[in-house]
Chain A
Amino acid sequence: MEFDEVQNIWSAQNMQMPYSIDTAELHRRILSKKAKVIFKTNFTEWLNIVVNLGVGAFTLWTNATSSRHNFFIYCLSAWVFVVAIMVVIGRVRRLIAGRRFDRSIQGELQHALAVADYQVKFSELIRWNNFVIGGLVLFGLWEASKPWWTFVLITLFLLLGWYVSGFEHKFYRRQKQRLEELRGLLNA
């Protein structure tokens, strides 16, 4: 068979539509999917921002109004504010990037890879962030001469956070790996 014949087989399907579209159902699905995607992404980002700002404001306020100022808790407040700002920057970048549509497959792939790379680095940072926050809390407790079992509890919580965040990190790494494979195919 020559390629022209293959082309004819393909073109023949233009004469017949094997499917019909339930437009009312489609419209409903579009609205529901759109709302779901926007909700999921916004929720995660806003949750991060609000929790970090909330923790920062709370620790700053309790520390500032207490009779004994704790240096490490001030550091903790400053650190969570920095994390909140980083999440805001990430959100703005994502929103700007989402408005661009006129890109080639290569361009989209490069963009997706950049996003995946950002996610891998960010999830890694968030994992280590557990230790920074945990460390500052432990030093704060030590400075405030808290009982030993609070140290044990915080340490256990820290290890649990490290373990759970590992799943997220692995997921992003797999995603990035798949994109790199795809780029390899495109440029082969």
Chain B
Amino acid sequence: MTSQEQEHIFKDWLEQYKGLFFKIVRTYAVTAMDMDDLFQEIVIQVWRSIPVWKQHCAVSTWIYRIAINTALSWTRKEKKHRQIEGLEAAQVLQMEPGAVADDRLAWLYEEIHQMDVIDRSLALLLLEGFSYKEMADIMGITESNVGVKINRIKKKLIVRSQKQDLYGIR
């Protein structure tokens, strides 16, 4: 694969799947600086993965696989190192001026942030509509293990939504 082809695919993926990138970034990072840093890490890994991308695998699944792996290793990084890198790089992701804050979505992200990183990844895949089999493939665990974890996540989200006022959700 030539570098021009790689560049072309990358631009295409970035445009087509940018919503997916935003969701992943928001799932794992809280501050704007961290989101920007994680976004850059993910796109670098996705860009690097293009030459070894297996055509039989759906692009979205491929991107999720790489993005979640990157996010997990990013969360393991020393926080102080991330902040130093983030300081000089908080410019790539820019908030849309007309974006309306959705309280219910903010609540949902907050709940996801409170989960451990593995449950967070599964919650993201669940909400994105992946099947248990696909989740098991991406995570490398058995479908039954996925099932157990997903049930726990669903229950937790339902209970949490019922316990709180949820800024007018109920």
Which residues from chain A sit less than 8 Å from chain B, CB to CB? 1-3, 5-7, 9-14, 16-23, 25-26, 29-30, 33-34, 99-109, 112, 175, 178-179, 182, 185-187
Q: Contacts A20-B96, A21-B14 given: A186-B19 contact, CB under 8 Å?
A: no
In the A-B complex, list the 8 residue pairs whose CB atoms are closest, starting with the nearest: A106-B140, A104-B140, A1-B161, A10-B127, A18-B99, A185-B118, A101-B49, A105-B139
The closest CB in chain B to the CB of A22 belongs to B92
Assembled-state Cα–Cα distance A178/B105 (Å)? 30
Minimum Cβ distance to chain B for residue A144 (Å): 45
* Contact between chains at A1 and B162 (CB < 8 Å): yes
* Contact between chains at A30 and B44 (CB < 8 Å): yes
Q: Contacts A105-B68, A108-B72, A175-B76 given: A99-B92 contact, CB under 8 Å?
A: no
Contacts of B157 in A (CB 8 A): 3, 6
* Contact between chains at A13 and B118 (CB < 8 Å): no
Minimum Cβ distance to chain B for residue A98 (Å): 9
* Contact between chains at A30 and B43 (CB < 8 Å): yes
* Contact between chains at B104 and A9 (CB < 8 Å): yes
* Contact between chains at A106 and B141 (CB < 8 Å): yes
Minimum Cβ distance to chain B for residue A102 (Å): 6
Does B58 lie at the interface of the complex (its beta carbon under 8 Å from any beta carbon of A)? no
Does B93 lie at the interface of the complex (its beta carbon under 8 Å from any beta carbon of A)? yes
* Contact between chains at B96 and A17 (CB < 8 Å): yes
Contacts of A107 in B (CB 8 A): 140
Q: Contacts A1-B162, A12-B105, A17-B18 given: A104-B138 contact, CB under 8 Å?
A: yes
* Contact between chains at A186 and B139 (CB < 8 Å): yes
Contact of B127 among A7, A26, A103 (CB under 8 A): A7
Chain B 115-135 interface mask (CB, 8 Å, partner A; 1/0) = 011110100000100000000
The closest CB in chain A to the CB of B73 belongs to A112
Contacts of A105 in B (CB 8 A): 68-69, 72, 118, 121, 138-141
